[in-house]
Structure 1
Amino acid sequence: MAAMAAGDEHAASEVLRGLARHLNCLNEDNKATRKRALEQIKRETVDKGLSSSVLQEVFSALLKPLLKCLSDPMERCRETAIAVITEFIRCVPKPEESLPYLMPCLAQRLGEKEILEPAEELRLSAVEMLTLTVETCGKHLAPYLSEMINILQRTIVDPFPDVKRESCKCTVKFAKCVPEHFHMQAESLVKPLMQTIAHQHSRVRVSVIETTGAVIQHGTGKNVDDVLSHLAQRLFDDSPQVRKAMTAVVGDWLLHMRDRYSYFHKLIPLLLSSINDEIPEIRLLATDLWRQVGAQWEKENEDDIKDKMDFLLTPPPFYPPGVERPGLGCRELVIRNLGRLVPAITHDVTDWLVPTRVRTSQLLSVLLLHAEDHSTQHLQPLLATLYRACTDSERDVVINCLAAAKLLGNFVPPAVFLKLLLDHVTTPYSSSHPWAPLMVLAAVLGGCSKPLLKPHLEQIANTLVQPDVCQEYQQVMYLEQLLACVDVLLHQCDSDCGSVSLQLLQVLVTVQGLSTDTNLSEKALESVQCLSKVQGLDSVMELYRQHMGQLLDWLSASVNTWSSYSPQRLQLHIIVIQSGPVIGEFVSQLMPLFRSCLQPDKDPEMRLSIFTMLAKLLLNAANTLDSQRHFHEESEKFLCDVLLPNLVWHAGRIAAAVRTSALSCLLALLHGGAITPGQLLCLEEKLRPKVLSALEEDSQMSRLLACRSIATILRLIGTSLHPESLNKIYPELLKRLDDSSEEVRGVALQALGLWLSSLTKDYNPALCAPHLQLLFQQLLLHLDDPDASVQDQVLEILKKSSSIHPALLRREVEAVRDKQRTPLHCDELLQHISSLPTETTDCPE
């Protein structure tokens, strides 16, 4: 051995003797000379393949001159010097002997506040050399902890991304080499790492996250709080590799960090958030790590959970289908930390950043799936969180929240969640979003099973039908959620809903009445059909028949307080329209309600809308109000007590509109056949003055409706009217021949034609000649009307009526023949009169 050592020493001396001139050249001023000298040194040493022991001797002798070259002004020289030193460190058997000289030099070169090495590539080579030093020297670097930390603090924030990455790599290796020393100064690396964690290069971010994991793992554990918020932001990183690295680091902490129990409540949300990542690889990684964490905790706390090991392994009844139940350790970890997790969820679910709100809402579902029935003790803050989240403008947040609410329905007993939820429904949690509790209620009910929900059906339905709940708000969103609550009951409880059928129908009627959205009204009608179907009823009509008496009692209870703003009038409209022929079975109950709300002292706008509705019903009376022929018994009273009082003139535009709607209703009553000619004849004396006065209305529509009503009355009972009654009608109709509306003029002419057709033998032409004369004179004026269609219509009327008093008509025609613009119509009429039988033309004077 001694001989071998002497031989190595001799060989090393020979090498150094050959390098003496090159070493001297390193001090030359000429840059090219220094460069050639370094290259020759490299060629004669590391490139020549010398034995390791010879290299060790040579390296010890060359180290100081080579380190001096690290500050050479020429970049090429510095590069070669770094390359030579790096090769020596890689090849020599005891590189640690170089540390007393190498580390201070590198600390000066790389660890100062200002970067002394201007070349990025050379800084990278120097840090790579440092990494190699860590790999080869290991624990021997412990005395140089301060130098290493100073260097890494600077190089981690180096402007060159590759230097940052290499520095991170070096940090991880160094932390693992000297863990018993590294922890003393580990926290000084946290700040530079956090400054770099958001770097624009994803590979840098990955390196920083992995390094942070090692620094915290081998540190004192006091800096977890300093890095958590930064790591949480990486949950939303665009790069899957960054999110994967973050997941791996947090999982490793949960498994191996010495003080992990103190940080479970902070680390668990980060790992569980990755379970919902969009990348399957990350989801699988997070799930696997979480399973390991749970199993490890279960093993470490086996004595504490022995009593739970057996009965907690069986899933609770009505567990969400198609969902794998988390392990006992995972569930216990969440349960024991839920009290500290819920406030954080509440805070983050309203964060100003959309991705944060989305991830938080996803996390909430994962936590509730683990907590199961233990979420009951946190129900109040959980509901408050859900109310806020379901008003989010981001659709994904709302969807995730409703999924979480459904899980509450799965695990929390209905008696418990209903006590809170129904109180919040009746007393809205937020004035700006009163529908939030309803939305959450619908979701929670959707998660509750039929057997558990059935005993509470009446309580839920009675709450929904309360006026403060179903009649207070008209926003589409509120009504949609009200409808959603009914729909979920129908879906969850189907035939059991028969016990609350009335209340649910009342809610659905209200939704349809208050809704201004056509789609919502159609959905509500579909729900009415579903309500009848789950009870085995043949149709919606049968459903209304089942409840009509109760519905009318429900409306009648408040009828004296109705106004144009009352939802009851809208509910009444839906009920009578949708029930079809069924309403005819309850006329005796319905009519007092109409009489009460249509009195002249009631709100005019309300009367206007109800008259409009009644007109539609009366036009089709045989299939609505009079389907059972019961309305005939009420029609006289309806005409006298309801319609006629509303035809009395009152000043004002709204009063005029009410009269118009009442006239429309009267016309519908006459046309629809809901009143018999006999009944009409009995009421003619009361009815005629009101209708005739309506001919003077300012409203064209009112005049038109009045004309049509008179025409219909004449058609129905004209031949039964007394001559005196008839003679009171035609003068008012004659006035309408000069109406500003062509339509009114046309209907007035038709009515006059019907009036003339109503004259029977009881009408004495001789005694009534003055009336006939006035009538003929006015008609003959319009025989010369500018409108040709009016001329033709008048001509036809006069021809048909010429047999009443031909002589009188002849005289009147002859008197005006020469005064008209054209005698053609007069001649035609005279010719018609001449063609009449003799006995007809010879009427007494």
Structure 2
Amino acid sequence: MATRGHHFPLACRPRRKARRPAVVKEERDGKIRDAAAAGPRGAESLATRPGGFPALATSMAEPPPITLADPTERYHELAFELLRHCLGRGTQPAQALPVLMPALARRLCEAGPGAAGDSREACEELRLGLLRLLGLLLRLCPAAALAPYLPEAVRVLRAALLDPFPEAKREACAVAAQAAKALPEHFHMQSESLISPLMQSVSHQHFRVRVAVIQATGAVIQFGNAKSLDDVLSHLAQRCFDSIPQVREAVIVVMGEWLLHLRDRYSFFHKLVPLLLSGLADEMHENRELALSYWKKVGLQWEKENEDDIKDKLDFYSAPPYYPQGVARPGLGCRELVMRHLYRILPGLCHDLTDWVVGTRIKASRLLYILLLHAEDHVTQHMELLLRTLYRVCLDEEILVGRECLKAAELIGMFVSPAVSLKLIVSDLEKAPQPSHLMVLSAVTRGSPRDVLQPHLGHLTDTLSHPHVSQCTAEVSYLEQLLGCVEALLETCQEDCKEVSLQLMKILVTVMAIPTVGHLHEQIEEAMKSLAEVQGLVGLVGLYRQHISELMQWVSSAPDTWTCYSSELLQLDVVATHSGPAIGEALQELFLILKTCLQTSKDPLMRLKLFSTLSQLLQEPNKTINSEGQFCNYLEIVIKDILAPNLQWRGGRTAAAIRTTAVSCLWALIDSGLLSPEETLNVERLLLPQILATLDEDSKMTRSLSCQIIGVFLEVSGKQFQPEKLTTIYPELLKRLDDASHDVRLEAAKALVSWFRCVDDDKKALLKTNIEFLYQELLVELDDPNQNIQLAVLDILKEGGILYPDLLAEQIKAVLHKHRSPTYLDQLLLHIESTGWRYSKS
């Protein structure tokens, strides 16, 4: 079953059952009834008899055609069929107007406030048929005859346009357009009354109704009063966003026809042109082609109408030297139309670009690009408004809006002189830097021709590299756009970037130094490689070598005032750790900064960061700080001025963390192989007391590294180690055998092995008591539950047992019954027995 919201077409709609009375008691007019009963043949005979249609008009004049008001719907339909056939075959249909127009008005319009009853037709199909009858009258009757009845016709159309039956709405739209074209001289006085019902139906749920309403609106405005155009434009503009392509196509056609044929079109160019140009960005290719066809016609017509005004431009005006590749340049008439009305179009468009409706913003952003493409260098005088708007919308949450606005900004770079565009953008950037400023700047840079941009390159990069711009915030979005500006300059200027290579490097180092942009490191390195390539340098190392001296001077300004929040601290870390071998050429500046900033009076967090940097450099010194073989000249500064003060014990967790990093640096230095044996001995003489003190640190890593450092000291010194130092070292290492960390215990065991190797025959007698005590304690550790510790202690006793094997054997026998398992004790006894003969012989 069809419902009132979803109607069947008239041909397939189930016909309502006519309510026929059992006996028709009242007699009707004989001629009409007989003709109706006879059907088409009866209508034909009546219409073609001698006298023709005038006779029918006479018979209908008194009384009016009462069959249209009959309670039986079947009679209504038969009367309608009869009238249609008579009108179509009569010779003077205009003579029926006095009878038919009032009858149609009564059947299609609601009764007035004082009318008795409601004679309006209730059947939807019959209302549709009556509207078609009205359309037939408009086609057949001359304009002079129709003119007196135009008010009644308009009244009928007003009611029909609000009819709930969609087919009736569509027919009413067609009839309204027909009336406008049939009576242009009179219609303009009645057209305004149709605007309101048309606009009430322009958003109907059926797209065919929307199309019909738009087409009818076009005719009503074109042949009626153009003052109503302001009332309909906002509604038609909304139809530009319609999801149905046919609706958008209808808007394009109406706009094109108005721009070509509307009498007052010159007064409305600034309102009509944007709606037609929006069609150039339609999603459907057919709609774009249709809009382009109309736009070309409009431009050519304007050229012909204004040929005298633009004669010089037609004869002498040449294309701009730079134009987007693959884009056809619009004709002169089209460009002039946009240029002359841009000052009136642009404010409204900029307002739409910030509208809360996403669809409006997308449509407006696409239209902006099209307008700038037409305006070319004429857009220069609108730069302030444009830039303010682009700043707001380029970061729009809708990606399409931002993308289209950046395309428009590229056109600004192409058509507007950098002396104007860059001056305005840089001025805004210097006042209050924002990510949107940088985004627009990068787009303008990409669009600018290389040779035009080159004279402004120095000033632009100086501004971007200035701390007020490059270091004003750590927001990721801002830094991403700053990096985008550098990439745009590299892409546009190519080899010209050699002149500003240092400024670009400062920007890239600044961005990389921010901890929150770790995900951008790859992109930054790619930009650095591009910068190296345009200068013919070999990779990042070549680029850093070129600027290492200037970069170190740049980051080393006033290091005595640095804190953990200083940007220079982060920049130094980037330069030192990413420059590779190039940092070896700037050791003087590097160690001057380290010596100044690693004093114990400086910010502890800053010292932590610098120690981390130094430790990283010492991991592979020959590829970093010793790439030039000059590190040895700064070893004394590292030991005396940097490590020694920071290894001193101070209370607090931060101080402990600093000691840990200092120990890490010392171990990295020792483990790197940079130090000769003599240099290692010098380090041991200077730092052994501090290292022994760090064996009691809370940090497991600190204790482990300290054991390893002491082990290296013992190995390098060997027999040269003084007995006093040996007696100082072993108690500390012995305590570490009871450490909570197994790793520390193992490192301590390794160091004790080296300790025993330092005892020669001359020191043996002096240290006998110490050695005996060590045997006792080590035998206790040999019974440790951890097998790895047992094996490590066994290695110590095997190494130390050769000093006093008899003494060790006696102590083993004394504790043999106390151990969980005698296995390792037996192994140790066997080892002593295997070496005892040699020692007894000696």
* Greater CA drift, 685-694 or 147-156: 685-694
> What's the CA shift for 1:158?
0.5
Other-structure match for 2:441: 441
The equivalent of 1:776 in structure 2 is: 775
Aligned residue in 2 for 1:78: 76
Which residue of structure 1 aligns with residue 692 of structure 2?
692
CA distance in 2, matches of 1:257, 1:774: 115
Shift of 1:26: 13
Equivalence for 2:815: 816
Tell me the equivalent position of 1:800.
Answer: 799
TM-score, normalised to structure 1, is 0.93
The reply on whether 1:59 has 2:56 as its aligned counterpart is yes
- 1:254-269 aligned within 5 A: 254-269=259-274
Cα deviation digits, residues 314-334 of structure 1 (max 9, x gap): 211121111111111111111
User: Which residue of 2 is the match for residue 48 of structure 1?
Assistant: 45
**Equivalent residue runs for 1:381-420 within 5 Å:** 381-420=385-424
Q: Is contact 2:69-2:119 (8 Å) kept?
A: no
Q: Percent same amino acid at aligned positions?
A: 47
One-letter identity of the residue aligned with 1:779: L
Contact 1:635–1:675 (8 Å) recurs in 2: no
Written as runs of structure 1 = structure 2, the 5 A alignment for 1:663-674 is 663-674=663-674
Q: CA deviation at 1:682?
A: 2.1
1:586, CA displacement in angstroms?
Answer: 1.5
- Check conservation: 1:111, 1:147, Cα contact below 8 A: no
Counterpart for residue 530 of structure 1: 530
Q: C-alpha deviations, 1:784-823, integer Å up to 9, x for none?
A: 2222222222112211222223343334334433433333
**Hey, what's the Cα distance between the residues in 1 that align with 2:561 and 2:314?**
64
By how many angstroms is 1:696 displaced? Answer: 0.7
CA–CA distance in structure 2, aligned partners of residues 346 and 650 of structure 1: 64
Aligned with 2:244 (options 232, 239, 248): 239
Is the contact between residue 138 and residue 174 of structure 1 (CA under 8 Å) also seen in structure 2? Answer: no
Q: Give the AA of the match of 2:67.
A: C
d(CA) in 1 for partners of 2:586, 2:800 = 46
Residues of 1 paired with 2:209 and 2:558: CA distance? 72
Partner of 2:548, secondary structure, is helix
Q: Aligned residue for 1:708?
A: 708
- Please tell me whether the aligned partners of residues 265 and 337 of structure 1 are also in contact (alpha carbons under 8 angstroms): yes
Partner AA of 2:44 in structure 1: D
After the TM superposition, which residues 185-196 of structure 1 pair with which residues of structure 2 at under 5 Å, given as runs?
185-196=190-201
What code does the residue aligned with 1:529 have?
Answer: K
Correspondence for 1:252: 257
Which residue in the other structure is 1:462 paired with?
A: 462
Deviation, 1:437, is: 0.9
Deviations 1:57-92 (A, max 9, x none): 332233245622111100001111111112211111
Contact 1:584 1:627 in 2 (8 A): yes
Kept after mapping to 1: 8 A contact 2:44/2:86: no
Residue in 1 that maps onto 2:358: 354
Q: Deviations over 1:126-153 (max 9, x none)?
A: 0000000011113111111211111111
Deviations 1:586-628 (A, max 9, x none): 2122111122222222222222232222222212112111122
Q: Which amino acid aligns with 2:214?
A: I
Q: Deviations over 1:733-782 (max 9, x none)?
A: 11111111111111111111111122345x52111212222222221211
Checking the alignment, whether the CA contact within 8 Å between 1:69 and 1:77 is kept in structure 2 is yes
Alpha-carbon offset, residue 45 of structure 1:
4.1
Match of 1:581 in 2: 581
Is the deviation greater in 781-790 or in 410-419? 781-790
Match runs of 1:113-132 below 5 Å: 116-132=120-136
Deviation by residue 1:458-491 (Cα, 9 ceiling, x = unmatched): 1111111111222222233222211111111111
In 2 relative to 1, CA 589–157 (structure 1 residues): closer, same or farther, beyond 3 Å?
A: same
Alignment match, 1:225: 230
Aligned to 2:19: none
Which segment is superposed worse, 712-721 or 115-124? 712-721
Structure-2 change in CA distance of 1:716 and 1:216 (3 Å) = farther
User: Could you tell me how far apart the structure 2 residues matched to 1:734 and 1:769 are?
Assistant: 16
Q: Contact (CA 8 Å) 1:45, 1:55: kept in 2 or not?
A: no
Which moved further from structure 2: 207-216 or 822-831? Answer: 822-831
- C-alpha distance in structure 1 between counterparts of 2:205 and 2:803, whole Å: 105
Instruction: Give yes or no for contact 2:47–2:89 (8 Å, CA) kept in 1.
Output: no
1:492-547 alpha-carbon deviations (Å, 9 max, x no partner): 11111011111111111122221534442101101111111110012211110110
| Structure 2 unpaired stretches of 5+ | 1-21, 112-117
1:385-406 per-position Cα deviation (integer Å, ceiling 9, x unaligned):
1111111111111111111010
The residue aligned with 1:6 is none
Structure 1 CA distance, aligned partners of 2:231 and 2:538? 68
- State the shift of 1:31 in Å: 9.8
What is the TM-score normalised by the length of structure 2?
0.93
Match of 2:18 in 1: none
Find the aligned partners of 1:828 and 1:50 in 2 and give their Cα distance.
137
The 8 Å contact of residues 584 and 630 in structure 1, kept in 2 or not, is answered as yes
Does 616-625 or 769-778 show the bigger shift? 769-778
Which deviates further from its counterpart, 245-254 or 793-802? 793-802
- Would you say how many aligned residue pairs link Structure 1 and Structure 2? 813
Match 1:294 to one of 293, 299, 302: 299
Residue 597 (str. 1) matches residue 618 (str. 2): no
Aligned-partner Cα distance in 1 for 2:552–2:213? 73
User: Is 1:561 matched up with 2:565?
Assistant: no
Alignment partners' CA distance in 1, 2:603 and 2:316: 67
Deviations 1:374-424 (A, max 9, x none): 111100110111111111111111111111010001100011111111122
Q: Does the 8 Å contact 1:476/1:515 carry over to 2?
A: no
Residue type at the aligned position of 1:356: T
Q: Give per-residue Cα distances to partners, 1:223-246, cap 9 Å, x unaligned.
A: 111101100111111111111110
Instruction: State whether structure 2 residue 762 is matched by structure 1 residue 758.
Output: no
Which residue pairs with 2:174 in the alignment? 169
Moved more, 632-641 or 183-192: 632-641
Contact 1:202 1:239 (8 Å CA) reproduced: yes
Q: Which of residues 271, 279, 295 in structure 1 aligns to 2:284?
A: 279
- The offset of 1:32, in angstroms, is 14
In 2: Cα distance, 1:641 partner to 1:149 partner:
101
- Which secondary structure does the structure 2 equivalent of 1:310 belong to? helix
Deviates more, 1:561-570 or 1:325-334: 561-570
Q: Tell me which residue corresponds to 1:541.
A: 541
Long gaps (5+) in structure 1: 1-24
For 2:650, the equivalent position in structure 1 comes to 650
Q: 1:35 to 1:221 in 2, by over 3 A?
A: closer
Q: Secondary structure at the match of 1:325?
A: coil
> Secondary structure of 1:481's match?
helix
Q: Is the 8 A contact 1:38 1:80 kept in 2?
A: no
How far 1:28 sits from its partner (Å)?
4.3
